[in-house]
Structure 1
Amino acid sequence: MGRLWRREVWRLAVLVGLGALLGWPFSLSSVGIGLGLALGLSYHLRNLHAMHDWLTHRPQQEPPTASGLWGELFDRLYRYQKGQRITQRRLRSTLQRIQESSEAMRDSVVMLDRHGDLEWWNSSAERMLGLKPALDRGQHITNLLRDPRFVGYFNARDYREPLSLPSPIDENMILQFQITLYGDDERLVMARDITRLHRLEQMRRDFVANVSHELRTPLTVLTGYLETYSDMAGMLPERLGKGVAQMQSQTRRMQNLVNDLLLLSRLENDQGGSDHVRLDPTTLLQAVKRDAEALSGGRQQIEVVVEESRSLTGSEKEMHSAVSNLAFNAVRYAGDGAHITLRWRAYGEGACLEVEDDGEGIDPRHLPRLTERFYRVDKGRSTATGGTGLGLAIVKHVLLRHEARLDIDSRLGEGATFRCIFPSSRLAAADPVALGRAGAVH
């Protein structure tokens, strides 16, 4: 290209030189120079006009014929256009395949622009969400999916967990929504029909609740007779007395399991909220501390630290159960001589209840599964300590009912920290009395 450019410069210089030579005998050198420049300019204007006509009226045809720099320019533009057409065909073909595959999906797919307006959706979205191409294109998603839970989920922009809601056109159809951010703050909304899974889960919950409830009566009868036999231990043979003690221990363990199953079933089925009041975290933690010290029997040192003055809105019974489960786990698994701290402190704009110990810790590979029902890090040790394997599942469900989340931080040999993190909406304004108490409790 540099060689062609220099050739054009020389061509113009030759035209100007010839014009000057032709005009020199007549003392019209300047006129000759202007004539040479005019000829060069007309040549370039003619090629420019040819380029404009080609690009405007017949871009699909062969380019105009020209030599030198213009010929090279026409040829490069033609190759570039040809490459662009091939790329566009390939992109259109890819887009068509994506749309066809999306149409074949049973899950609904909805594409939103950066403002949250509907751009495109597949036929499953029309069936599940009731979207109509002629009416809804360009509408904001929350104008059509008006459930407050979806609106809050959409605006929160925290899409790590899916959201399950009834379909807006059929309450018997349960949909699981998952939103993904991509591109220039655009969003992809996917909805799956989980009605069958929801019904199976409800059947499981009902089964567990019914079985647990039915087990209470025979366990109560067994406990009563075993207590009677225990009172008569002096009259029983030694071997039989030892068996009665073991039966009492296992019956208590079964009662604890049944009680935890019933509590978990209630947390799953009951919407909650009716007993939410303003709670004093200091009073809550002190009560849990007394229960944990009774379980510990002096094997660990337990303290309460309150660094935040704001109080918490929630269910006193449920929050006591959740924090107690965390504290009792620390007592059971931290080991003798461990130091356990129950702390209420600020966390970002919200606050958190922490149960921290400096005991044996947990291998990080177990952390993602700790809140599963009956999941055991060490099955033998858990059985020996009398745990039911439902404590952290109960904590998780209590926190979900309080718009909170559980965060676990632990490493082997470095202790463990369990944080119940609450949003600012769950906190009451600073109380001067609580503030004085917060400074006093350590």
Structure 2
Amino acid sequence: MTRTVFRGATLYDATSRSADAADVAVENGWITDVGTGLDGDAEVDCAGRAILPGLFDCHVHLTMSSVDLLDAVQQPFSLQFYEAAGHMARTLATGVTTVRDAGGADLGMRVAQERGLVPGPRMQVSLNMLSQTGGHGDPWWPSTCALDLLPPHPGRPPVIVDGPEEIRRKIRELVRAGADVIKVATSGGVVSSGPGPELVHFRDDEIAMMVTEAAAAGRFVMAHAHGAGAKAAVRHGVRSIEHGNQLDDETLEWMAERRIWLVPTLSAGLGLRQSLEDGSTVYPSEIRDKIEQSHGDDTVRRAVAAGVPIAMGTDAPIYPRGENLLELELLVDKGLSPADALHAATLSAAELMGLDATLGSIEPGKRADLVVVDGDPLDVVGLGKRVRAVYQDGRAVHVRDD
């Protein structure tokens, strides 16, 4: 068994949220020692560079190439999976070694990655998002046409549900199809037909059923939610609030007390505004209005002050894929320190996904998912452009050759 030492780096310690010089010893894909002056059979020279734990993106859509509905409905159905292979490789090259897919990826994609058939991040998949009739995930438009970015197929069941018993059955169906996490929409959304984010979707008995039935299957619930819809989701014990604009102080207090994560996806807001300004995506007028109204929210800044746990998520591809680490800069702009922003992308994200026993920090007994970067690890500005090499289980899966 070969013992490989990554020598001479500055390590980001996610447990203390600090950085210091140290070596990392890896055997058979696992970290066996961290310290100075370690010996080994092979060596990776990291002098002048830094090592981060493999990073997490807790909100991606790997089968989606854009949110342009008119373009999406003209593409062959299976093309999404071939494009997803490229999206997976590009995400991995940014240093993101684990993702939570918030709709689109199915069990086959996860298994393909696990078996080494397709390079990409480890993944938890939700398959699709539970929506009420007329909700954020309902593909119906006033023309009576159904324009669906995530059309159902045998591995991605249809998800429009109403009432607790429909919800119970649908969650069981999603789990049967391979869902690792249950995604729901408890409010309206921005890039969809119908009401905006300010309206609550699903009633209390329906949301309670989601959490209860998911827990019975050993699954967490992630809730696309804003405002009052987020408050309802938090009241019933979801694991995380995705996007989470316009959260009031009471909701944030509950989230801090109950350790319910906020995944702000700040990149998505920026991407939507940029696409509106440059005309790269054609939106119906009602969606353009919702994008313009969503700017300027101070929820993340207040969440930081309230002690709400935060995990990094981007909602890629709404902001260009491969630019995932811009989210770290945006989190810092909202009040996190650089060390805390990195924590949101490492140990906090791992805890959110229930993976912190083996991932999220550089410690003996954890998987050797490592990211080698140029410069100071606590400088997150332009971090994605400074990634030199990415390792999963101690194996190089991306090396920059310039």
Larger radius of gyration: 1
Same fold? TM cut 0.5: no
TM-score (norm 2): 0.22
- Higher-helix-fraction structure: 1
- The structure richer in strand per residue is 2
Q: Determine which structure has greater relative contact order: mean sequence separation of CA pairs < 8 Å that are 6+ residues apart, divided by chain length.
A: 2
TM-score, length basis structure 1? 0.20
